[in-house]
Amino acid sequence: MNRLAFYIVTTLVIFFSLLPFLWFVDTSLKTEIEVTAIPPVLLPSGTLHFYRSSIENYNLLHYVKNSIIVAGSVTVITISISIFTGYAVARLRLKYKGLIMGALLMVSMFPQISIAGPVWRILQSLGWLNSYQGLILPYVTLTLPLGVWIMASFFKELPSELEDSAKIDGCSHTQTLFKIMVPLAAPGVFTAAILVFIYAWNEFFFALLIMTQQEFQTLPVGIALFQGQYTLPWGEIAAASTVATIPLVLLVLLFQRRIVRGLSAGAIKG
């Protein structure tokens, strides 16, 4: 009975969580008449009209390209730095290691609005407003604490005898890191990379603040600025939101075992 109740509650929670996404998918497959019908039409006609319209009239693929460039660049840069930093924190005898990790954690807790002004002024002085690097830099700064924490927790639990053996075999520190330590910490690398990518793909506030020109706007901002002549184009917004969400859903489904393993191992080992 307890197990049955657990499954029922879990199913209801999952359904409630997925309901907005399912409603948008349903709306994206309707006709314009069905979107505004009263009472609401639950079963759509299955037309792809709104997908075509969002691509042809609202430049959806351009926003997708910008999000891929920004999120991909942030992921590569953040994970690259996190590997080196996490390894140093885990292996070097740093005098203020706890203070460093505490500072990283503190940075990740800052409300975005509290640092928006300084970030904007810095990017303005660099001439990086409305540029890819102008958005990538803040994202890397905001995602680095997560990447470093995950990587440090994995490297910390790998036996030091592996490094001793590598030194005896003539490996340099860099060779030891990338040929032995990083492959063993692969679950942590996958976990950090996926979480960083999801953050950069979904982030809205800084993208809206920094990217005021359509040429560089990412998906969340582009979708938010969809405009109709008299009303909001809900069908196109639903189609674009579905396109923006499906890659993340597929990413999590494909790598769910690695994500769970990475998060649970990091929590236990950290």
The conformational region for residue 66 under phi > 0 = left, psi -120 to 50 = alpha, else beta, is alpha
One domain, residues 41 and 80: no
Question: What pLDDT is recorded for position 43?
Answer: 86
Regarding whether 109 and 238 lie in a shared domain, the answer is yes
Residue 122 tokens, joined: 């810095």
Considering the domain architecture, whether residues 29 and 105 belong to the same structural domain is answered as no
- The sign of the CA dihedral 120, 126, 131, 134 is negative
User: 152 and 27 in one domain?
Assistant: no
- State how many domains the chain has: 2
Token readout for 220 is: 């969340």
The residues near 148 (Cβ < 8 Å, ≥ 6 apart) are 81, 82, 85, 86, 89, 101, 104
Closest CA to 194 of 242, 243, 251, 139: 251
Do 4 and 87 fall into the same domain?
Answer: no
C-alpha separations of 72 from 83, 99, 132, 230 in Å: 17, 30, 11, 36
Range of the domain at 42: 1-47
Per the CB < 8 A criterion, the answer to whether 247 and 135 are in contact is no
Which portions of the chain are predicted below pLDDT 50? 266, 268-270
One domain, residues 28 and 123: no
Helical residues (DSSP H) of 130-233, grouped into ranges: 132-157, 161-168, 173-176, 182-184, 186-202, 205-210, 219-224
Q: Give the tens place of pLDDT for each residue, 63-112.
A: 999 999 999 999 999 999 999 999 888 887 777 777 887 887 787 788 88
State whether the Cα torsion 220-224-227-232 is positive or negative. Answer: positive
The pTM score is 0.88
Same domain, 83 and 193: yes
Residue 188 structure tokens: 């942590």
- Is residue 53 a part of any domain in this protein? no
Residues 30 and 67 in one domain: no
Could you tell me if 171 and 232 lie in one domain? yes
Give me the CATH number covering residue 193.
1.10.3720.10
Question: Do residue 69 and residue 200 come from a single domain?
Answer: yes
Exposed, middle or buried: residue 211 (CB in 10 Å: 0-12, 13-18, 19+)?
A: buried
DSSP string for residues in 25-63:
HHHHTS-HHHHT-SSPPSS-----HHHHHHHHTT-HHHH
Same domain for 129 and 262, yes or no, is yes
**DSSP code of 233?**
-
The pLDDT, as a whole number, for residue 229 is 64
Question: Which amino acid is residue 167, in one-letter code?
Answer: K
| DSSP secondary structure code for residue 229 in this structure | S
Q: Is residue 52 part of a domain?
A: no
pLDDT score at 261: 67
Residue 66 shares a structural domain with residue 42:
no
Total Cβ atoms within 10 A of residue 202:
16
